[in-house]
């Protein structure tokens, strides 16, 4: 990856990925794009930035051509809870944007990455130790777009030999970027509220296990996969990856080790709870470990210590 274009750069993943890539490869090596240009934003001001609506193919192709990029990382998408509120728009944005990005990659012979999600699984998927290759029948529009995206990326690799790569992200936890409408967002909100109020009201019920990952591990996974030897990649797209699986009482206990007076209550959101119930408890990441040496660095305890320490300087 010598010159990278990133769509959806202002989202939770994009803002941190752009910063990391610019730090590693140089400021001008990463062309950040998003549908808006906010004022006083580090991602916008720290290097090349272009306004891009990913449903506009011609604009996407022009930016990639003008900057002579060799890699396209496509992150622009509507997340699970927001997508369920606007399913038709979610399909339009998630799928049209992806097809356009894949076409640009095909046209310019670019290396390509886009993330899938644990949302690509559904109620009929095995809940525990969920295999890499298994039943995928999601019951949300977000999940439908993610399964469709996985298949499209496989198709573009098989049909057109596009170097497509991707992972199924679990819930992502970050101290740098606020949540963006995902079902796993409670695991981000809880740290902010622990410091601000000493109390959190969870919209996910006790005993609901979901896979999670601290953002530094997620960014590291993208970069490692994109630099991996293609000859080792059997699956290429939608690798299961995870760092930890926990339920709300466990994250509460981890926070209480650092903040003993912290308390948590429940006000379950039926819509987001239904989404969470359709997802696995814990997935099997053995293929990612075998094919490109995926290995997360943070567990729940280490993440909690770092999250609280970092947020104390920001709140």
For the four alpha carbons of 171, 244, 71 and 19, in that order, the dihedral sign comes to positive
- Burial class from Cβ neighbours inside 10 Å (0-12, 13-18, 19+) for residue 59 reads middle
Helix ranges, the chain (H): 12-25, 42-45, 57-66, 80-85, 87-91, 97-108, 141-160, 186-196, 215-226, 248-258, 270-277, 286-292, 300-312
DSSP lists the bridge partners of residue 73 as 6, 113
Active site residue: 67, 142, 156, 175, which one? Answer: 142
Q: How far apart are CA 41 and CA 49, in angstroms?
A: 11
For the four alpha carbons of 26, 156, 126 and 141, in that order, the dihedral sign comes to positive
Q: Is 142 a catalytic residue?
A: yes
Neighbours of 64 (CB within 10 A): 25
Structure token digits, residue 216: 């530094």
- φ/ψ of 201, rounded to 5, equals -105, 110
CB 65 within 8 A of CB 38: no
Q: How far apart are CA 283 and CA 291, in angstroms?
A: 16
Q: How far apart are CA 90 and CA 85, in angstroms?
A: 9
The set of residues, in sequence order, having a beta carbon less than 8 Å from that of 304 and lying 6+ positions away, is 191, 251, 254, 255, 257, 258
Structure token digits, residue 267: 């006000």
Active site residues: 142
């Amino acid at each position: 990856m010598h010159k990278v274009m990133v769509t959806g750069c202002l989202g939770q993943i994009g803002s941190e990925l752009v910063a990391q890539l610019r730090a590693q490869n140089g400021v001008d090596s990463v062309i950040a794009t998003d549908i808006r240009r906010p004022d006083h934003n580090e991602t916008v001001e720290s290097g090349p930035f272009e306004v891009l609506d990913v449903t506009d193919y011609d604009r996407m192709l022009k930016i990639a051509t003008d900057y002579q990029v060799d890699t396209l990382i496509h992150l622009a998408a509507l997340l699970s809870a927001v997508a369920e509120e606007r399913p038709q728009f979610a399909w339009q944005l998630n799928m049209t944007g992806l097809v356009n990005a894949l076409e640009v990659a095909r046209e310019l012979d670019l290396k390509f990455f886009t993330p899938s999600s644990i949302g690509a699984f559904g109620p009929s998927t095995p809940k525990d130790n969920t295999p890499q290759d298994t039943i995928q029948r999601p019951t949300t529009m977000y999940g439908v777009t993610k399964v469709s995206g996985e298949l499209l990326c496989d198709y573009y690799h098989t049909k057109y030999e596009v170097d497509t790569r991707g992972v199924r992200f679990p819930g992502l936890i970050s101290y740098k970027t606020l949540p963006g409408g995902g079902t796993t967002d409670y695991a981000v909100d809880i740290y902010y509220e622990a410091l601000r109020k000493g109390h959190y009201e969870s919209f996910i019920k006790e005993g609901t296990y979901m896979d999670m990952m601290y953002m530094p591990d997620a960014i590291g996974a993208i970069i490692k996969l994109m630099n991996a030897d293609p000859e080792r990649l059997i699956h290429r797209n939608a690798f299961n990856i995870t760092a930890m699986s926990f339920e709300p009482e466990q994250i509460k206990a981890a926070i209480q080790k650092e903040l003993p007076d912290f308390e948590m209550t429940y006000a379950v959101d039926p819509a987001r709870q239904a989404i969470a119930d359709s997802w696995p408890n814990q997935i099997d990441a053995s293929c990612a470990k075998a094919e490109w040496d995926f290995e997360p660095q943070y567990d729940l305890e280490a993440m909690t210590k770092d999250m609280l320490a970092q947020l104390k300087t920001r709140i």
